[in-house]
A and B are shown apart, each in its own frame.
Chain A
Amino acid sequence: MGKHFFFDKNDPIDRVDGRAKVTGTATYSAEYKAQNMAYGFLVGSTIAKGRIKSMETKTAERAPGVLAVITHLNAPKLPGYQTGKDPSKPPAAGQPLRIFYDNEIFYYDQPIALVIADTFERAVYAAKLVKAQYEKAEHQTELKTNLARKKTPTGPRFEDYKRGEADAYKNAPVKIEEEYYHPIEVHNPMELGSIIARWEEKDKVTVFTKTQGVEATQRSIAGAFKLPLENITVNAEHIGGAFGMGLRTWPYEIAGVMGAQKVGRPLKLVLHREQMFTNVGHRPETIQKIGLGATPDGKLVGLTHEAIADTSSYEEFTEATVNISRFLYACPNVTTRYRLVPLNICTPIWMRGPGEATGAFALESAMDELAFALNLDPLEFRLRNHADTDPERNLPWSSKHVKECYEMGAEKIGWEERKAQPGAVKDGEWLIGYGMGTGSFGAFRGAATVKIKLEPDGKLLLQCSVNDMGPGTATMMTSVASNELGIPVNNIKVEMGSTNLPPGPTQGGSTVTSTVGAAVQETCVALKEKIAELAGKEGLAFHKANVQTVKAEDLRFSASGISLKKDDTLTIAYSDLFSQNGLTTLELTRESRGKQQPFSMYSFSVHFVKLRVHPPTGRIKIDHVVACADAGAIVSPKTAASQMIGGVVGGIGMALMEDMVIDHRFGRPVNNNLADYHVPVNADIPNVDVLFVNKKDPHTNPMGSKGLGEIALVGVAPAVANAVFNATGKRIRSLPITPDKLID
C-alpha cells in the first residue's frame, strides 16, 4: 500500500508531473495548438523617454504574410484604458502602462508596435521594418544620481517605523554604520513570456499565458476589455519558472489579446529574451544604510535600516525591504525608512524572497560586521539577540525553531573549523571562509476552494485553479490527500491552472502549501465524514455487523474501500458503498481560509556557506552550502528539498553574478541576454545539503506547515558575503561580489 507519511524521508513521493516533464508532454503557454495560428512580435522603443513623432509601418504591412501592424495610431481603443481603469494593476499607486495607448515613451524597449504575420519568421522579419521617429526627452535611469528625487511611498505600510528611540545605535558603545548596494536583478525564468489568445466569440476570449495566478489575469483582461469575468478563460497549467515575474498581467499580454481580436485568428505572442530584461519587471536596484549598535557584551541597543529603491516613472512599486529589521532580533530601538526613486525603467516586480532578500543582505552583513567588531562568533552574537517573541507586534510566534537551525547547520558545515580571524584557513593558494545568514518570511494562509471527486474504483480527482511554476503544487496536493485518505498516490489525479476550476490563490509569497494544502486536507476530511455517513446507513455491511454508528475516525481508508479500524475483516468496497447509496461518484467542494490569530507567523531559514577565494585572480569557488529551514511540517519532502536548493542557487546568483547594467547615456541595458547577464550554471553550484527542522506549527494550518519558497533564498547572499570576509578580510558591500572586487 502506498500510504505516504509527511515525515517519511525514506519513501518521499516523486513529483507527480515528473513523467510529463521528462517526456516533453507537459504543455507550457506557447505550446497549445490552434488552427490557423497567427504569430506576433513586439517592436520596442529605442529611446528611454520622449514621444513618438511618427511611425513608418507600410513596409512592414507589405512584407510577406503580414496580417496587421498595431501601433498607438491604429490600436483598438480598449474601454478599460479610456476610463483610466487599470488593466493590469499591481497593488501599487500610479497608472499602469497602457500599451499602444498614446505616443508617450516611459522606458527603453517599451512596446511601440505589434507585428502579426502568418508565421513566426515573417513576424520577426517584418518587425524589423517598423520604424519610428522620436522627440527625445532627457531620461533618468541611474539611481545614485537621482537620490534627491526620492519620495516616501503612498500608504501606511511604508511610513517610517520607530520602536523606542530613533537612531539609538549612534549612542551605543560599539557600533557600525555602513552602506550596502544591490543592483538590478532580473527574474529570467527559462520560459519566455508568452501568451496564446483566441477569441471564441465577439466577447469571449480564451488565453494560455505565463501567469502565477489565472484568476488575477482573468480580472486584468476583463478590466481592460470591460467584459464579464466569465467571458475570459485563463489557462496556465505549467509555467516554465517565473520567480515573481508572473505576479501581474503585463502589457504584452494585453497586446496579445488585442492582436488576436484585430486579426480574428488565434495569436501566439512570445517575448524575445532581450524583452525579458526590459518589459517584465526586475528586482529593484537598492541602496541601503544600516546603523547597528550593541553593548560590549553583544546585546543590540539600536538598529536603523534605510533603503532607497528604484520604481518606474508611472507606478510605485513597493516591497518589504526594511521590514525584516523590525522583527528578526530582539532590539529595543529600531528605526526603518523606505524611499523610492522614479526612473525611466519598467516597473519592478517582486522577485523570489522579495524585499526581505535585499534587506537581509544588508542586515545580515551588518550583523556579521558588528560581531567581528565585538570579537564574538556570529552565531553567538545572534543567539544573544534571539527574539523570543515578535518584538514588532508584541505577539508570541506561532512557532520558531531558528536556534535548532543554527545548531544543525553549524554542525553540518563544520563551523568549528572556522577561525574568527579572516584569512586564517588556507588550502594552498586558496583562502577558505565560512559564513552564515538568517532569513525569514511571513507564513501566510489565504483562501482556496478544492473540489474532490472519488470514483467507485478508488480513483480520486482533486481540482483547484492554482497553478505550478515549479515548486510542486500538484505533488503537495497529492501528498496531503494520500496522507489523509490512505489512497495511493498513483490513484490520485490533480487538475489545476485554469479559471474553469474552483478558485485558488495566486502562486506567490510562499502561501500555496498552507492555503491549498489546507483546503485539500479539509475537503478530504469532509469526504471521510460523508463516507462514514453513507457507510453507517441501515442495511449496509457495517450496520448488519452490529456497528450502529460509523464515525470517520473509526474508519480505515485504503485503495479499494473502507474498513473498521477495530475490525478490519469487514471491508466495504467504494463501488459497493456507492451502488448501495445510489451514487455513481462522490463529489465534494469546500472553501477553506486562514483566520486571524493572536500569533506572529513566520518561516525562518539559516544558510551556511563554505567557500574558497583565490586572491591572485579573485575567483570564488563555493565548496558547500547547508540550508536549514524552520518551515513547520514538511508536506512533500522531495520537492521541498529541491525548492530549498533552488533558493540557494538563486541566492548565489544574487551574491556573485547577477547585475543588469544600464548604459545611462542611452538608458538601455547592455547585458540583456543570458551570455552577458550571468546566472549560476552547473559548475558554479556545489552540493547543497538541506536540513528541515520539520516540526509542526500548531497554528498555521491543519498540516502545521509554513512557507518555503522565499526563505530558501533570503539570507543566502549575506552568508556568501560573510564567508568572503572570513576568507579574505575584504568586506564587500556592493553586490555582486565579482573577482575584480577581491583583487588587491
Chain B
Amino acid sequence: MATKGSYHDQSDDKAANEGRRKFLKQSSLLTALAVAPTHLVKAAESEIDEKAAAYFEQVPLSIEVNGAHHKLSVEPRVTLLDLLREQLALSGTKKGCDHGQCGACTVHVNGKRVLSCMSLAVMQEGKKVTTIEGLADGDRLHPMQEAFIKHDGFQCGYCTPGQIMSGIACIREGHANSEDEIREYMSGNICRCGAYPNIVKAIADVKKGGQQL
C-alpha cells in the first residue's frame, strides 16, 4: 500500500451526472412536460445547460410552522431543517450533524418529535410543525423552557432547542416516569457541554408539575 505513483480518484462523477439527467428526462416526460417549456427540456436532454434544470426543480409546499401558514415552492432535496433555518429565518432549530446523530434539529411535526435534518421539507405537506420559537406564549415561557433556566440545563445553548423539544415529547410519550427513563429517552440528544444531569432535573421537574404539554 501507499507507494508513490499516480492515483486516480474512484470517481462516480459520470454515473451521478447521467443519473441526474436521466431522472430529469423521465420526470420531464412524466410530470413536467405539460408545464415545462419545450426548449428547456431540449436543453436538458442535450446536456448543455444544467442551469436550466433549476426551473423544473421547485415543488409547491403548504406547511404550517408555529401557527403560521406558508405556501412555498421548494426543491425536493431541501430538508425541513434547512427550510426552517435558511428560508423561514427560524434559526432556533440547530444543525449539529445533518445526519440524524445528534438531535440538535429536533422539532415537533403534528405534535411528535422529528429530526428535521432527516426529513425532507416536501414530506411535511399539510403538516403542523412546531419549533423552539413556537413554544412560548408571548412573554410567557413554556414550562420546559422555565425549567431549563431554573436547573441550568445548558451551557453553550446550541443543543438546547433540540433538548427542550425532545424533553416535551419525552413527557408526552409517557417516557419520563423516572430519572433513568428520562436519561434513556433523552439519549438521542447530545450535549457536548455535558449538561445532562441538569437536563434530567428539568424534565423531571416539569413532569412532576403535571401540566398539560
Q: Which residues of chain A have a CB within 8 Å of any CB of chain B?
A: 14-15, 17-28, 30-31, 33, 46-47, 50, 53, 56, 59, 62-65, 119-121, 125, 128-129, 131-139, 188-192, 238-241, 243, 270, 272-273, 468-472, 638-639, 641-643, 645-650, 665, 667, 673-675, 679-688
Contacts and interface: CB of A to CB of B under 8 A. Distances in A.
A20 B11 CA distance: 46
B132 A24 contact: yes
B183 A138 contact: no
Please name the 3 residue pairs, one residue from A and one from B, whose CB atoms are nearest each other, closest first.
A24-B92, A649-B194, A240-B158
B186 interface: yes
A50 B189 contact: no
Contact of A470 (B2, B77, B104, B157): B157
Nearest to B90: A24
A97 to B, nearest CB: 21
25 contacts: A24-B161, A25-B133, A28-B158, A30-B95, A31-B85, A46-B9, A121-B78, A135-B7, A136-B7, A189-B158, A192-B96, A273-B97, A468-B156, A471-B155, A472-B155, A645-B194, A645-B197, A648-B194, A649-B194, A649-B196, A673-B99, A675-B99, A675-B101, A681-B196, A682-B187
B196 A680 contact: yes
B5 A136 contact: yes
Interface of B: 1-9, 11, 13, 16-17, 49-54, 57, 75, 77-78, 82, 85-86, 89-99, 101-102, 104, 131-133, 135-136, 141, 145, 148-150, 152, 154-161, 164, 182-184, 186-200
B196 A240 contact: no
Contact of A650 (B96, B159, B194): B194
Contact of A685 (B17, B159, B194): B194
A20 B148 CA distance: 12
B159 A139 contact: no
Contact of A25 (B51, B53, B92): B92
A15 B153 CA distance: 10
A24 B92 CA distance: 4
A23 B191 CA distance: 17
Contacts of B194: 645-650, 680, 685
A404 B13 CA distance: 64
Contacts of B82: 120-121
Given A139-B2, A649-B194, A679-B192, A22 B156 contact: no
A272 B98 contact: yes
The residue in A56, A125, A129, A642 that gathers the most chain B C-beta atoms within 10 A of its C-beta is A642
Given A135-B4, A135-B5, A240-B158, 15 more contacts: A18-B154, A24-B133, A28-B158, A59-B13, A121-B77, A135-B6, A238-B157, A241-B158, A643-B155, A649-B193, A673-B97, A680-B194, A681-B188, A682-B196, A685-B197
B7 A22 contact: no
Nearest to B160: A21
B183 A682 contact: yes
B54 A131 contact: no
B156 A189 contact: yes
Contact of A64 (B5, B50, B98, B192): B50
A666 B26 CA distance: 39
A660 to B, nearest CB: 15
Nearest to B57: A64
Contact of A133 (B7, B17, B49): B7
Nearest to A22: B145
A190 B93 contact: no
B1 to A, nearest CB: 5
A191 B158 contact: yes
Nearest to B202: A22
Nearest to A188: B192
Nearest to A32: B91
Given A645-B194, A647-B194, A665-B2, A23 B136 contact: yes
B88 to A, nearest CB: 12
A685 to B, nearest CB: 4
A273 B149 contact: no
B54 A65 contact: yes
A241 B133 CA distance: 21
A243 B149 contact: no
Nearest to B91: A31
A9 to B, nearest CB: 13
Given A23-B133, A646-B194, A673-B99, A17 B157 contact: yes
